Amino acid sequence: MPTLLQLDSSPLSTSISREMTHEFVNSWKSSHPTGTVIYRDLAVSSPAPLNEAWIYAAYTDPAARTPEQIATLALSEELIGELERADEYVIGVAMHNFSIPGTLKLWIDQIARRGRTFAYRKNGPEGLLKGKKATVLAASGGAYGTGSPAAAMNFVDPYLKTVLGFIGVTDVKFITAGGASRVMSGSVDRAEFLKPTLAEVRAVAA
């Protein structure tokens, strides 16, 4: 049974990236009628930041972990379990200060774990999530298209491409609704602005 993991990270209920993930999931469900969707709203339920206990637990040999250390890693295990169960991921991202929302970074910190999602081999690091694919659906106030002067200020796509690749997810598509500030200012109609982007989203979800 195909399984999709949906992550949302925008804190706003009127969020554009949330509308994009919603569109993606509706299309995905139509083309995968027997599929299951696992949903994580990271803005509503934010993972905890890593602390000293977590880091020591993660770097302790699994066979030697104390019950406290196992409990410390429980959320991390749950989140990694979702990544393992799902065949593909759709990640809604609001650009905040040229990068991803803090809650999404906290999720990444919980799931990027040596021995679970990556390993160091003789020839270098190896991602352990095999055969998965991801679609990143982002919204930004400005436009950061390839070749534009602002492109170098976009740390969303390069960061997510790097970190997803590091854990083994190299099949990643990015769709960005850039220039969303025009919707906020009222100079562009939201539905008109989103029309081509949502069409692109439906095409990749099918």
Ligand X SMILES: Cc1cc2nc3c(=O)[nH]c(=O)nc-3n(C[C@H](O)[C@H](O)[C@H](O)COP(=O)(O)O)c2cc1C
Binding interface with ligand X (CB under 6 A): 10, 12, 15-18, 94-98, 139-142, 180, 184
Task: Tell me the two tokens of residue 70.
Answer: 């196992």
Residue 186 · residue 176 · CB < 8 Å: no
To ligand X, the closest distance from the beta carbon of 193 in angstroms equals 10
- Let me know: does 21 contact 92? Beta carbons within 8 Å: yes
Nearer to ligand X, 24 or 54 (CB): 24
Measured distance CA(114)–CA(190) in Å, rounded: 43
Q: How is the beta sheet containing 36-41 ordered, strand by strand?
A: 36-41, 3-8, 88-94, 133-140, 171-178
Smallest gap, in angstroms, from Cβ of residue 50 to ligand X? 22
Least distance from ligand X to the Cβ atom of residue 141, Å: 3
Nearer CB in complex with ligand X: 184/206: 184
Compute the radius of gyration of the chain from its Cα atoms.
18
Shortest distance in whole angstroms from residue 186 CB to ligand X: 13
Q: Which is nearer to ligand X, 112 or 198 (CB)?
A: 198
Name which of 47 and 178 has its Cβ closer to ligand X: 178
Provide, rounded to whole angstroms, the least separation between the CB of residue 158 and ligand X.
14
Nearer to ligand X, 119 or 153 (CB): 153
Whole-angstrom CA distances from 124 to 41, 108, 152, 167, 170 are: 33, 21, 28, 13, 16
